[in-house]
Chain A
């Protein structure tokens, strides 16, 4: 059973979002997603300053069997990509909700109200519907 922390928001494409004290949003992939991908060998994160639209592919996670896009859960400007992941991509496998975060975003005005984010309970239902 995958871990789905109750204090985070989720997307149906298996990203999680955490609101930080400074108003930026931290984004990563869920425990379910890292488990489905298998051992990650490479993670490509966006550069700070990049402006992304909701649903835009903005990071790549690559395992020995697949390379998958990670989509921006909401529109905004990237304030940081996780620098740790270029040398230690496996951090996403070992700590997907903590040290394995992918990027931080400053949401565009109004981005939060329009974002298609779901609660932990609803994400759990998405997983169950997928058979996970």
Chain B
């Protein structure tokens, strides 16, 4: 039997019943400029041989540039075993299966993932992933409003040093649900959020404080002071963290005297390759106290009727297939395939391997900063410790410099002038363990030439 949900006659009958001329008219409320138009650059139809050739040529056009861009997505070495195992037929699905309990292997893998992420973050419980770090941050804000029952304001303090895309996604997701995001200023000399700047919120009803560690500039915030300030005022703390950095830095569960209440982040550094912006995955952890306010799925370990250990979806009563419009969020499925890769990545690396990766990335970035700041006209923007990213300031606009570097096969970093104009000609650079001393020297030499040429011109 063909799967045809409704015939033309069915459609015509339904339209007549509601007095609408055509299906197109149902979408009238969507502004024309937001409607999908024909896609530029997509040929009408190609056979398999032709499309294979086209994609090979397009991939070749990307080349294999030496990349020093981080800003939320990071190039790390991925052991070959990670995707060899992830793409096995037993795992190769993006979804939690229907009749989930019939797939005990998948549920066990999710359970292992939750355990590893919760331990990495030093938190009590993790869910089975979100869409990405930005949407996880937005969901954490919504969750904080549900969890902080003493606060009525739905005001969320967000440092300017949070990834700007995360802030945009949080506002787009939650502002129409009554959440008010208020920006905290940062110190332009140090690139961090001064705890003293919070004093003006003393005595006000604030629901939650977001803290990103390391922050968007790669700098380390004073998480203990910020966390304790918030908790002393019954404000929940939402940590936004990099999972690689967690191998070295204090995990959010140990920030201040009580630890963060919710910790989220982008999971891409854990075995997911850079791929035109995605798909990536987000993670979310919290205290047991707030587990019923956490969106998404959780797999639990239990005993079956015969007393044998097994795995099961739990807390489903809060999900949308049961609770409909009152579900804790619209997240029901998860980024299963990427979570699978991350679980295998973490199990291959182990805590020591992840710590060595983090330490190497930090060391390479220090070498990068030392090398690049030897180039005349280049200085480090902020004083103080950083993890595997740093902001440089150039004596001229960044965009033309990046274009020249790109023509030499180097992606030199992210131009910050559109995001943080107050920082002048600022460039965010990153080096991970994938960069060698020779790579860093090549960047330094090329930057020197580019700056020299521009000066001579």
Contacts and interface: CB of A to CB of B under 8 A. Distances in A.
B150 A62 contact: no
Contact of B318 (A47, A62, A69): A62
Given A42-B292, A47-B149, A47-B150, A63 B326 contact: no
A62 B326 contact: no
Nearest to A44: B292
The A interface, classified by DSSP as helix, strand, loop or mixed, is strand
The B interface, classified by DSSP as helix, strand, loop or mixed, is helix
B323 to A, nearest CB: 5
B149 A67 contact: no
A92 B318 CA distance: 19
B322 A67 contact: yes
Contacts of A42: 292
B317 A69 contact: no
Given A47-B149, A67-B317, A62 B292 contact: yes
Contacts of B326: 67, 69
A23 B234 CA distance: 33
A63 B314 CA distance: 11
B150 A67 contact: no
Interface string A14-56: 0000000000000000000000000000101001000000000
A91 B318 CA distance: 21
B322 A65 contact: yes
Contacts, number: 20
Contact of A64 (B149, B292, B317): B317
Contacts of A67: 317-318, 322-323, 326
Interface in B276-328: 292, 317-318, 322-323, 326
B317 A62 contact: yes
A129 interface: no
Contacts of B317: 62-67
Contacts of A63: 317
A64 B318 CA distance: 10
Most A CB contacts (10 A, CB to CB) among B149, B317, B323, B326 go to B317
Contacts of B322: 65-67
A67 B314 CA distance: 13
Contacts of A47: 149-150
Nearest to B323: A67
A63 B292 CA distance: 12
Nearest to B328: A67
19 contacts: A42-B292, A44-B292, A47-B149, A47-B150, A62-B292, A62-B317, A62-B318, A63-B317, A64-B317, A65-B317, A65-B322, A66-B322, A66-B323, A67-B317, A67-B318, A67-B322, A67-B323, A67-B326, A69-B326
Interface of A: 42, 44, 47, 62-67, 69
Interface of B: 149-150, 292, 317-318, 322-323, 326
Given A42-B292, A47-B149, A66-B317, 16 more contacts: A44-B292, A47-B150, A62-B292, A62-B317, A62-B318, A63-B317, A64-B317, A65-B317, A65-B322, A66-B322, A66-B323, A67-B317, A67-B318, A67-B322, A67-B323, A67-B326
Sorted nearest first, the 10 A-B pairs with minimum C-beta distance are A67-B317, A62-B317, A67-B323, A66-B317, A67-B318, A47-B149, A66-B322, A42-B292, A65-B317, A63-B317
